[in-house]
Chain A
Amino acid sequence: MPKITMREAISQALMEEMDRDPAVFILGEEVGVWGGTYAVTKGFYDKYGADRVKDTPIAENAILGAAIGAAMVGQRPIAELMTINFAFSAMDYIVNQAAKLRYMFGGQFTLPLVIRAVGGGGRQLGATHSQTPDAIFAHFPGLKVVSPGTPEDAKGLLKSAIRSNDPILFIEHATMYQVRGEVPEGEYLIPIGKSKVQREGSDLTIVTYCKGLELSMKAADELAKEGIQAEIVDLRTLRPLDMEPVLESFKKTNRAIVVEEGWKSYGVGAEVVSRIYEEAFDYVDAPILRVAQKEVPLPYNRTLEQAALPQVPDIIAAAKEVLK
C-alpha cells in the first residue's frame, strides 16, 4: 500500500466523492482559488469550477446556513471551517439546526451535510485558535462527530461521511496533515461509529483518538521497551461512540488510561471512563486515569503551549501509574 499524507488522503476522499456524485460540493473560506488554508483542496477549483468549490465570506454562520439549506434540498455540501474555533460563530446552525432538523421535521428532511473543521493546538495560534472542543459537539444527539487519527481512516471515514444522510462534524487535527500512513489503493469505505484496535497489547488499554493516537503510539513504543504491552483502541467516532472494542480490550487488560487533547473536565475521557465503570465494573483492577490538556486557555508561548498539551511522557507516566 502506498504511504501518503493525511492531507493527500483527505484530498483523495473529497475528489473521489466529487467525481462520483455531482451533488457533492465544497464551500468555505479560501477553499477555492487559494486551495484551502491547509492546502487540502489545491487544484479543486480548476478541476470542478466555482459552482462546486465555493469561496465564501468570512462568516461561519453564513457558510453553515447556506450548507444546511442546500442539504435540505438534496445537495451534499461539504462546509469547511478554517478552524473549529470558528464553529462557535455558527453554533446555532450546527447544534440547533443541523443536529435537530431531521428530528423536528419528523424525518421529512435528511441532512447530508459534512462540516470539515480543523481542530487542535500546538501551532502557536493562541488561545482562541487552538482549542480541541470535540466533546462539546459530541454532546449533542443528532450530530455525528468523527475525528480520525490515520490517513487510512481519514479517507475511508470522510467518504462514508459524504455519503451519509446525517450531519457529520469531521474534525481534522491541524498538526497532522503531514502524518504519513499506508492507505489502500482504490475505493474503500470505513463505517462511521466503529472504534478500532490500532495496536494490540495485554498489559493496559489506551483509549484515544485523533492526535492522541499519534502520541499514544509513540508512548506504546517506549513502554514496550520496558516490557509493557499497551493495547490502543482508537475511537475514531465520538458520536455514536462504539465502546465494544474498548470494553473487550479492557476486560482483557483490566487497566486503562484515556488520552485526549481536550481539557480533562467534562471531556471524552470522562465519558469513556464512565462507560467502562458502568459496563465493566467487575473488570476494573485499578482506577482509570485520563491524560488531557491542562485546564488553562492554551498559551501562545511555545514552551508553555507544549507544557499545557498532553505529551508522550504524560501518557507513559499515566500508564505506569495505573499499572502500579
Chain B
Amino acid sequence: MAETINMPKLGFDMAEGMLVRWVKQVGEEINKGDVLAEIETDKATVEVESPASGVVLQHIVEQGTVVPVNAPIAVVGVKGEIVSDQSSVSSKKVADEKPLPAKPTPAPTTQAVAPAESSSPVSGQPSVIKASPLARKIARDNNINLASIQGTGPGGRVVRKDVEAALTSNRSPVTSVPPASPIPSYQLSTSTEDKTIPATKLRQAIGRRLVESKQTVPHFYVTHEFKMGALMDIRKQANAFLPDHEKLSVNDFIVKAVALVLRQFLNLNATIRGNEIIQFGHVNVGVAVTVPGGLMTVVVRDADAKPLRQISGEIKAMAARAREGKVKPEDVEGSTFSTSNLGMYDVEEFIAIINPPEAAILAIGSAKETPVVENGEIKIGWRMKATISVDHRVSDGAEAAQFMQKLAEFLENPVRMLV
C-alpha cells in the first residue's frame, strides 16, 4: 500500500515550506528514517525523513516548489505499484530566494506568510522558475537547484545550455542548503555608503514573531541574583571525569533546574488561547542558539526527566545542527518554556522577549566572581543574575518571584538536581 508523504509542520507558525531538494529520486529504494528531501522553512533547511520503507514512487512536487503544510509531496510504496493521481496538490513555486550571482542587490523578498492556524495554500500570484522541461529534467537528474541558474532563453527561461553550463562550471550549488557562511567576523567597514541587504527568511521570521509577541503579550519582568558557588564547584567536579566533548556548561544545569521548577509552576509552562490557559503536560525547555543570520531555539524535551549529561549532549548536538542549517523538525518544535543565555558575553543581565506561544522566558547573564556580603563579611562569591519575562495574562509577579526563589533552591543546592 503506497503511503503519501506530506509536507511536515516544522514549527508553530509554519504554513508552508519550500522543497529545495529531493534527496531520494523516483525509483530509489528508501528505508524508514532515510532522508527523502530537504525543506527550507522560515528557520532553516531541514531534512525530511521517510516515515515508510519501500520505493519512491512519485515526487508530487518539483524542487523549488513552496508547499503548504500537510499537502502531499511524495508517494512511497512497493516497486511497480500504481500511484493514484496526487497531482492536484495546490502549491506555488517561488523564484529564487537566494540572490542570483549576476544581481548583487536584489529587492528584498516580500513574501506573505500565512498565519499559523492556516494550513491552506497561500493565495496570490505564484512566481515560477521559468525553465524548459528539458532543463528541469537535467537539473533534477543532477541535483541542481534551478533557482540558482541564470536563464538565457526568452524571458530569462532556463534552457538546456544554461544547466549544462552550470554543470560544467560547477558554479551552482549541488545542494540547496544555504551556504554555511561563518558568523561574520568583526570587520571595519571603510564604505560610507548606505547598503540595502535583503532580510533572510530567518530574520523575517524572528521579526514577525517577536513583533507579534511584543505587541500582543503584556510582559513583566522579575530579576533574581543567584549564588552560583556550589554549582560552579559541582560542575568542576563533574567535568573532571567527563571527556572534553561532554563537559557540562553552566547552562546545562540551568536548563535542568528550570525544568524541575517548572513542574511546580504550571502557569509558567503554559500558553493562553482565548479565554483558556493550557498548562502543558510536558516540560520542553527551549534553548536559544546563535546561528548565522539570527537565532533559533532548540528544544530539550522532557528536560525534567533527563539526566544532566543527556541534556548537555542533546543541546550540543542540536546546536551544531542549527548552526549548520540542518536542524531536524523535532529540534526546534514544541518548546514550552525558553531560556536565553548571554553569559559567555560577559553580560550582567538582560531581558528577553517571550517566544510565542509560550508564557515565559528566562534571560540568563554571566556567572562571575564578585564581592558579596555573607554573615556581615565581604567575601568573594559566584553570582549570576537572571530575569524572567512572563505573560501577565497567564501569571503574576508573585508567582514569577516564587519561581525564581525555587530556581535558586536548585541552583544554589545543585546536588538536588542529581537526586
Contact = CB atoms under 8 A, between A and B. Distances in A.
Interface of A: 254, 281-286, 324
Contact of A282 (B133, B153, B154, B159): B133
A285 B135 contact: yes
B160 A282 contact: no
A33 to B, nearest CB: 59
Contacts of A285: 132-135, 159-160
Contacts of A286: 132, 153-154, 157, 159
A282 B137 CA distance: 6
Interface in B363-401: none
Interface residues of B, number: 11
A50 B230 CA distance: 125
Contacts of B157: 286
Nearest to B161: A285
B153 A324 contact: yes
Contacts of A283: 133-134, 137
B153 A254 contact: no
Contacts, number: 27
Contacts of B137: 282-283
Interface string B125-141: 00000001111110000
A324 B132 CA distance: 12
A203 B400 CA distance: 75
Given A283-B133, A285-B159, A285-B160, 5 more contacts: A282-B133, A283-B134, A283-B137, A285-B134, A324-B153
Contacts of B132: 254, 284-286
Interface of A is mostly: loop
A244 to B, nearest CB: 19
Main SS of the interface on chain B? helix
A282 B138 CA distance: 9
Interface in B145-197: 153-154, 157, 159-160
**Most interface-central of A254, A283, A285, A324 (chain B CB within 10 A):** A285
Contacts of A324: 153-154
7 closest cross-chain pairs (CB), A and B = A282-B137, A285-B134, A285-B132, A284-B133, A285-B160, A281-B133, A285-B159
Contacts of B160: 254, 285
A282 B140 CA distance: 11
Nearest to A321: B154
A254 B136 CA distance: 13
Nearest to A277: B133
Nearest to A283: B134
Interface string B96-138: 0000000000000000000000000000000000001111110
B347 to A, nearest CB: 57
A285 B137 CA distance: 10
Nearest to A324: B154
Contacts of B154: 286, 324
B164 to A, nearest CB: 11
A286 to B, nearest CB: 6
Contacts of A284: 132-134
B165 to A, nearest CB: 14
B1 to A, nearest CB: 29
Contacts of B133: 281-285
Contacts of A254: 132, 134, 160
A284 B138 CA distance: 11
A286 B161 CA distance: 12
Nearest to B163: A285
A213 B25 CA distance: 42
12 contacts: A254-B134, A254-B160, A282-B133, A283-B137, A284-B133, A285-B133, A285-B134, A285-B135, A285-B159, A286-B153, A286-B154, A286-B157
Contacts of B159: 285-286
A254 to B, nearest CB: 5
Contacts of B153: 286, 324
A281 B154 CA distance: 19
A324 B137 CA distance: 19
B172 to A, nearest CB: 18
A53 B325 CA distance: 85
Nearest to B138: A282
Interface string B243-268: 00000000000000000000000000
A323 to B, nearest CB: 10
B389 to A, nearest CB: 55
Nearest to B140: A282
B162 to A, nearest CB: 10
B144 to A, nearest CB: 15
Contacts of A282: 133-134, 136-137
B270 to A, nearest CB: 53
A254 B154 CA distance: 16
Contacts of B135: 285
A285 B134 CA distance: 5
A285 B159 CA distance: 6
A281 B132 CA distance: 9
A281 B131 CA distance: 12
Nearest to B134: A285
A129 B200 CA distance: 67
A183 to B, nearest CB: 39
B398 to A, nearest CB: 68
A254 B159 CA distance: 10
Nearest to A284: B133
A283 B160 CA distance: 9
A78 B269 CA distance: 93
Nearest to B131: A285
A282 B133 CA distance: 5
Nearest to B152: A324
B148 to A, nearest CB: 19
A204 to B, nearest CB: 13
Contacts of B134: 254, 282-285
A281 B62 CA distance: 15
Nearest to A322: B154
Contacts of B136: 282
